[in-house]
Amino acid sequence: MLFILTGDIRTGKTTWLEARVRELEAAGVPVRGVLAPGVWLDCKKVGIENALLPSRERVLLATPAGDGCSTGLGWDFDAAALARVNAHLNGLAETTGEKDARPGLLVIDEVGPLELRRGGGLAAALELLDAGPAPAWPHALVVVRAALAEEVAERMSPTWGSVEPIRPDEAGARRLREVLLGGLLGHPRNKRHLVS
């Protein structure tokens, strides 16, 4: 199943997602992918990091745009940082078919206009999602702004089959727990891990 986590800007999507990732990992569910926490100074957002999962290596991805912003999105993206994150995601792609991979959740925070309309940004994230479920992630969660949620759902439905929008609230957390903790912990490869 593909979950689409959506909400307006500054509704706490990443903070909510970080809490869900900790909860799932504590329960023994592997989480792979990328989180995009903001960097804040005096209540002002001064950057966007990417936390690579599962290692949690942090990469400063973007800073507020100057006058010569090439993206038109209000952020200047660091080319080396984008390359590092895409390399991490490409590395995950190489493990998708491993028979012994413990099934878990793929997290992509976030897919936006840069990926969907320009083929830039975290292009490797979009490739992973377009490929659909894998032994290492029978389920995925992608963060998308509300204005793009329908477009992403239409694009991903053919490969994922089941696409479900959720919000960063308790109902969304409950639904995620229901699908992931209910199904993945009982999977034979995860049972072997929990026993050893």
Q: What is the CATH number of the domain that holds 154?
A: 3.40.50.300
pTM: 0.88
Q: Which residue has the higher pLDDT, 11 or 119?
A: 119
Q: How many domains does the chain have?
A: 1
Phi/psi of residue 65, nearest 5 degrees: -70, 140
Extended strands (E) in the chain? 2-7, 31-35, 38-41, 44-53, 57-64, 75-77, 105-109, 139-145, 163-166
**92: CB partners within 8 A, 6+ apart:** 32, 33, 106, 128, 136
Q: Output DSSP code: residue 76.
A: E
Number of H helices, E strands in the chain: 7, 9
**82: CB partners within 8 A, 6+ apart:** 61, 120, 121, 122
Which residue segment(s) compose the domain that 36 sits in? 2-195
Per-residue pLDDT tens digits for 70-97: 555 688 899 999 999 999 999 998 876 6
Per-residue pLDDT tens digits for 95-115: 766 666 789 999 999 999 999
